[in-house]
Amino acid sequence: MKRVLIAEDETAIREFEVINLKRAGYDVVDAESGKKALECFERYNGDFDLAVLDIMLPEVDGLTVCKELRSKSSTLGIILLTAKTQEMDKISGLMLGADDYITKPFSPSELVARVDALYRRVALNLMRTENNFKEEIKFDEVVLNLRNRALKKRGKIIELTQVEFQIMEYFFSNPGTVLSRTQILHHAWGDSYQGEEKIVDVNIRRLRMKVEDNPSVPQHIITVWGLGYKWEN
Ligand code: CA
């Protein structure tokens, strides 16, 4: 379950955030002050993926909450909400460990898109941690370097786009498992991506040209008819 902590003192905005993030599939915990947000974080033993913090909060302000949460967790994704007039606060916020900020007023789609994008980065980081801090994942002659995001085949570096890298990382984290086009799309492009699944096929074709000895007879990136694709060693 992906869980987000919201800190916002204005009831209307808080409810707007809660409704839209719940609708987008998040488990939402909301607090109406900075102090309460910190209490919630403790109550859930820090089990949050993301926090969306308004900067202007009574008692403890959002920047202080941001700094506190960042000191407790390096993996938590933090988004700050700022007013247009708070340019300096944006910079302070990023210095204090926020990952992103949204300027008020914002639309539901902007909120969800930004939260989804950050969640993807957080989840990817966690997956890397679960890979036992491995810097490289190796299958046979193909090595994926997670730190510099490079792929090597028989020692030769193959340049990957961001999306191609994410697809390869997804394959390498699930070797031998069939991954549907929808899963690959959500993983590499994000849950909120509205485009067609055909884009997955296009990227798979490109990856095959980079990875396979003979792209028309793939040995690694295998099509599973009617289901999707899988990585074979
Ligand atoms: Ca406020």
Ligand 1 centroid, distance to 190 Cα (angstroms) = 29
Parallel/antiparallel/unpaired status of strands 221-224 and 179-180:
unpaired
87 CA to centre of ligand 1 in angstroms: 15
158, 107 contact by CB (below 8 A): no
- Cα of 9 vs centre of ligand 1, distance in Å, is 5
Cross-strand partners of 16: none
pLDDT in tens, 5-28: 999 999 999 999 999 999 999 999
CATH of the domain at 65: 3.40.50.2300
184 and 153 share a domain? yes
Domain boundary among 80, 101, 127: 127
Same domain, yes or no: 101 and 157: no
* Alpha-helical runs (H) found in 45-104: 62-72, 87-95
CA of 126 to the centre of ligand 1 (A): 31
Q: Which residues contact 71 (CB under 8 A, 6 or more apart)?
A: none
**Number of independent structural domains in the chain:** 2
Question: Are residue 92 and residue 173 in the same domain, yes or no?
Answer: no
The per-residue pLDDT for 129 is: 63
Residues 71 and 177 occupy one common structural domain: no
Residues 115 and 93 in one domain: yes
Q: Clarify whether residues 148 and 119 are in a common domain.
A: no
> Is residue 159 domain-shared with residue 90, that is, in the same domain?
no
Q: 82, 105, 127 — which closes off a domain?
A: 127
> What does the alpha-carbon distance between residue 38 and residue 18 come to, in Å, rounded to a whole number?
18
Q: Which residues lie closer than 8 Å to 39 by C-beta, 6 or more apart?
A: 31
Type of residue numbered 108: P
pLDDT band at residue 205 using 50, 70 and 90 as cut-offs = very high
Q: What is the pLDDT of residues 113-134, one digit of tens each?
A: 999 999 988 887 777 666 555 6
In the predicted structure, residue 206 carries a pLDDT above the cut 60:
yes
So what's the pLDDT on residue 120? 87
Q: How far apart are the first and last CA of the chain?
A: 31
Q: Are 51 and 26 in contact (CB under 8 A)?
A: no
User: Taking a C-beta distance cutoff of 8 angstroms, is the pair 41, 5 a contact?
Assistant: yes
Tokens 């003979």 locate to 214
Give the domain-ending residue among 108, 127, 146.
Answer: 127
The answer to whether residues 82 and 98 belong to one domain is: yes
Contact indicator for 146, 138 with CB cutoff of 8 Å = no
- Whole-number Å distance, alpha carbon 72 to ligand 1 midpoint, is 23
107, 136: one domain: no
Q: Which residues surround ligand 1, an ion (CB under 5 A)?
A: 9, 54, 56
For residues 183 and 204, is the Cβ–Cβ distance under 8 A? no
152 vs 92, residue with greater confidence: 152
Question: 6 alpha carbon to ligand 1 midpoint, in Å?
Answer: 12
Same domain, 142 and 182: yes
Do residues 123 and 158 share a domain? no
Q: What is the per-residue pLDDT across 166-175, written as a single tens digit (0 to 9) for each?
A: 999 999 988 8
Same-domain pairing of 192 and 121: no
Average pLDDT, the chain: 89
Domain of 150 in residue numbering reads as 132-231
- Expressed in angstroms and rounded, the spacing between residue 136 Cα and the centre of ligand 1 is 44
The reported pLDDT for the residue numbered 132 is: 52
Ligand 1 centroid – CA 108 distance (Å): 18
